[in-house]
Amino acid sequence: MHLTLGFSPCPNDTFIFDALVNKKINTGDLHFDAQLEDVETLNQWAMQGKLAITKLSFAAGLKVADQYELLNSGSALGRGCGPLLIARKDIPLADVKNLTIAIPGENTTANLLFSIAFPGAVNKKIMIFSDIEQAVLNGDADAGVIIHENRFTYQQKGLVKLIDLGEFWESRTGQPIPLGGIFIRKDIPENVRQQVDGLIHQSLQHAFAQYPALSPYVKAHAQEMDEAVMRQHIDLYVNEFSLDLGKEGWTAIAKLKEMSGQPV
């Protein structure tokens, strides 16, 4: 059985899926057609039900719950790993509602967390996450919500942090931050869904067994990223929740659903 599988080219995702898509583990009668795209593209594709299995922002996952279910393995949750609101200079948080904010996609969890923290801030510019730092530096946006490896580079470019939206979430809820998860279409037979979940778990176990060595697959998709930054990226976003959401992970996701205003 051939299944389409979408995830981002970021090191945390390629680290998780390397063994699965490159047949380093036995996938039995399942074959995966990997499609690597920016997470907001994957979010938009999910609205159309395009892929069988896909990485999604949890904010997007809430919107497609009629078509997709969340798997137990492969998620990105944690503490101290949330999106940051950055600017060229320090700005009082009370003024954020009046600013033009660059966001990495309408359906991203980053946008949802920003909206929970600053419900009055509605002047947003949607762009690819990797373009946000430059947009703020150029003055095309007053501030920006950054994710992924930009957490490790914004200070080098002279930008300053206004607020850590992850810390805001944690202080308000006491829960780890649910960023993204792996979702599978509900029209796929249940036994296959369970098999895929187990294979993702195995794939990540294989990656952890080799770590801190980085496979050529991870390096090839990291776009000139320094290896130290790749490891920072993996260390921040891949953890015990990625292997198994557990009670704490599922509770955090339920809390995000509650605070998003989606029907519980």
Check which CATH number belongs to the domain holding 242 and give it. 3.40.190.10
Q: How many domains, in total, are found in the chain?
A: 2
Answer yes or no: is 171 a known binding residue.
no
The pLDDT tens digits along the chain (264 residues) read 999 999 999 999 999 999 999 999 999 999 999 999 999 899 999 999 999 999 999 999 999 999 999 999 999 999 988 999 999 999 999 999 999 999 998 999 999 999 999 999 999 999 988 899 999 999 999 999 998 878 888 999 999 999 999 999 999 999 999 999 999 999 999 999 999 999 999 999 999 999 999 999 999 999 768 899 899 989 989 999 999 999 999 999 999 999 987 543
Considering the domain architecture, whether residues 9 and 71 belong to the same structural domain is answered as yes
Domain around 161: 84-173
Considering the domain architecture, whether residues 169 and 182 belong to the same structural domain is answered as no
Considering the domain architecture, whether residues 133 and 251 belong to the same structural domain is answered as no
Answer yes or no: is 63 a known binding residue.
no
Please identify, among 173, 190, 219, the residue that sits at the C-terminal boundary of a domain. 173
Residues involved in catalysis: 148
Answer yes or no: is 5 a known binding residue.
no
Q: And the tokens for 56?
A: 């999604």
* The pLDDT of residue 151: 84
Considering the domain architecture, whether residues 106 and 141 belong to the same structural domain is answered as yes
Among residues 137, 176, 171, 173, the alpha carbon closest in space to that of 155 is found at 137
Q: Is 69 helix (H, G, I), strand (E, B) or coil?
A: strand
DSSP state of 168: H
Considering the domain architecture, whether residues 66 and 105 belong to the same structural domain is answered as no
Considering the domain architecture, whether residues 188 and 72 belong to the same structural domain is answered as yes
Pairing of β 2-7 and β 53-57: parallel
Answer yes or no: is 110 a known binding residue.
yes
Among residues 12, 73, 56, the alpha carbon closest in space to that of 244 is found at 73
Answer yes or no: is 3 a known binding residue.
no
Please identify, among 135, 157, 173, the residue that sits at the C-terminal boundary of a domain. 173
Please identify, among 158, 173, 188, the residue that sits at the C-terminal boundary of a domain. 173
